[in-house]
Amino acid sequence: METFVKEIADDLGKIREQKPLVHHITNFVVMNETANMTLCLGALPVMAHAREEVEEMVGFAGALVLNIGTLTPELIESMIIAGKKANELGVPAILDPVGAGATILRTDAVKSLLKDVNMAVIRGNSAEIGILAGVGGEIKGVEAIGKNDRIVEAAQSLAKSQGCVVSVTGAEDIITDGERTAFVRNGDAMMATITGTGCMSTTITAGFAAVQNDYFKAATGALVAFGIAGEKAAASTRGKPGSFHALLYDAVYALDSDAIIKEANLQIELPV
C-alpha cells in the first residue's frame, strides 16, 4: 500500500512537470469550474466542442474528458469523433455519464459512446454506474438517490464488460478494473453541497490518466488527491458552500507529496 500511495504522489509531481493538455467536451454548467480545477492540478485545460476541430485538438491532448451533463445530439457526435481519434492515438478517454438513466437521450448517448469509443475510465455516481451496469439505480435529475447495496459488484461487472476502469464517487469511492478494487475514504460531505464536484473528479482523473497508464492507479490516485483537498477545504468552511467552493481550488493547488502520503485513506482488494 505504501508503494501505491507513493506512486500517487509521484503522479501528481509528473502532472505538474509535464503539464498535460486535458481536452474537455463537457457541459455548460461546469466549463469554468473544471478548467480552473485542471489549472490548479497543474495541467492545462482546453474546452473545444465543435465537430470541425475536436479531432485536431485531441491530437495535442494528454487525456480527453467526455461529459454529457448538458448533452445535445451535436455534442454527442463531437464526442464520438473525438473519442475515436483518442483511441487511435492512445489518448485516454474518460467518460462522465451525467444523468445516465434519467432520460432516454442520456442513456442512449452513453450506449453510443460506449459502442464507438474504448474508455479508459468511466467515472459516475452510484445511480449512473448501477444503471449502466444493468442492476439499476435511482436518479433524481443528475443526483443519485438512496443507497445501492450492489454497487461494488455493479462496478466490477461494468468494468469487465467494458474492459475499462470504473470509478464510483460517493461517501466512499469505489474504483475497479474488474480485478483490483480500491475503496477511497478521503473526501468530505461539503463536496456534495456544490454542483460540479463529480465533474471535477472526472477532470482530475483525466489529469492523472495523462501521466499514468495504469488507469486503475490513475483513477484511484485522482480520488485520493481530490478527497484530501476536499477535506482541507472543508476544515474551515463547514456549512459554507460558497466559501468552500473557492477554497477547494486553493486546496487542490496546494496539494503536495507530503499531504498525499500522510492523508491517503484507502484500501485495495486484489484478486485472490
Angle subtended at Cα 4 by Cα 20 and Cα 42, rounded to the nearest 5 degrees = 20
Q: Does 196 bind a copy of itself (CB under 8 A)?
A: yes
For residue 190, give the DSSP letter: G
Please state, in angstroms and rounded to a whole number, the distance separating the CA atoms of residues 219 and 182: 10
Cβ-based nearer residue to a copy of itself, 159 or 228: 228
Show the beta-strand stretches assigned E in 48-161. 63-67, 93-96, 121-125, 138-140, 143-145
Please state, in angstroms and rounded to a whole number, the distance separating the CA atoms of residues 93 and 209: 9
Residue numbers 135-174 binding a copy of itself by CB under 8 A: 140-143
For residue 103, give the DSSP letter: B
Q: Does 56 bind a copy of itself (CB under 8 A)?
A: yes
Candidates 4, 13, 118, 194; binder of a copy of itself (CB under 8 A) is: 194
Candidates 209, 249, 255, 260; binder of a copy of itself (CB under 8 A) is: 249
Candidates 12, 40, 131, 165; binder of a copy of itself (CB under 8 A) is: 40
Q: Does 57 bind a copy of itself (CB under 8 A)?
A: yes
Pattern of binders to a copy of itself over 113-132, x per CB under 8 A? --------------------
Burial 160-177 (b: 16+ CB within 10 A, else e): eebebbbbbbbebbbbbb
Q: Where does this chain touch a copy of itself (CB under 8 A) — which range of 4-12, 16-24, 205-213, 255-263?
A: 16-24
Amino acid of residue 68:
I
* Selection from 259, 101, 252, 268 nearest residue 177 by Cα: 268
Q: Does 47 bind a copy of itself (CB under 8 A)?
A: yes
Q: Which residues are annotated as a binding site for ATP?
A: 123, 169
Cβ-based nearer residue to a copy of itself, 139 or 266: 139
Cβ-based nearer residue to a copy of itself, 61 or 166: 61
Residue numbers 80-109 binding a copy of itself by CB under 8 A: 99, 102-106
Q: Is 158 left (phi over 0), alpha (psi -120 to 50) or beta?
A: alpha
Q: Does 245 bind a copy of itself (CB under 8 A)?
A: yes
Minimum Å gap between C-beta 103 and a copy of itself is: 4
Q: What are the residues whose beta carbons fall under 8 Å from the beta carbon of 247, sequence distance 6 or more?
A: 232, 233, 236, 237
Query: C-alpha grid cell for residue 14?
Result: 509528473
Q: Which residues are annotated as a binding site?
A: 47, 123, 169, 196
Query: Cα torsion at 115, 23, 128, 146 (round to 10°)?
Result: 170
Amino acid of residue 176:
T
Binding interface with a copy of itself (CB under 8 A): 19, 21, 23, 27-33, 35-36, 39-40, 44-50, 52-53, 56-57, 60-61, 69-73, 99, 102-106, 140-143, 193-196, 239-243, 245-250, 253-254
